[in-house]
Amino acid sequence: MKFENTGLENKKADLTRLDEVMLSHGLVREGQWDYERVTYDRKFELKEGVFYLRVFGYAVEGDVGAHKALIQLMTPLLGKHYYPHGVEYGEGETFPKSLLNQCEKILADIKTEIDHFAV
């Protein structure tokens, strides 16, 4: 599921500061990056299954590996994990309303914080 019109998809932010903000909201980058792209994940384990809130981005300047990059954020996604196949984001998925509300709040809080330094 896409979270449209969060305002994040229009933001470009410094990688180091972005890492800090995302981590403060439970989204981790860990090893999910290459020299041009990043993925921030937050895992939710509920009785309905395992879900991931994901925020993707790509470097418009610099190098992620060197920790010096300007990251263009993309539309956040929510997906459900199916073992062993992976995460599905399809329209046929159903998501608990409480999870949707929590994700929307997290994304709004992230936007508020990065508005102070993003372009």
User: CA–CA separation, 39 vs 55, rounded Å?
Assistant: 6
Phi-psi region of 28 (alpha: psi -120 to 50; beta: other; left: phi over 0): beta
Predicted TM-score (pTM) of this structure: 0.92
User: CA–CA separation, 106 vs 114, rounded Å?
Assistant: 12
Question: 54-100: per-residue pLDDT in tens?
Answer: 999 999 999 998 889 999 999 999 999 988 888 888 778 889 999 99
Tally Cβ neighbours within 10 Å of residue 62: 16
Q: What is the fold, at CATH topology level, of the domain defined by 8-116?
A: TATA-Binding Protein (3.30.310)
Q: Are 53 and 36 in contact (CB under 8 A)?
A: no
What amino acid occupies position 28? V
Question: 89-104: per-residue pLDDT in tens?
Answer: 877 888 999 999 999 9
Give the domain ranges of the chain: 8-116
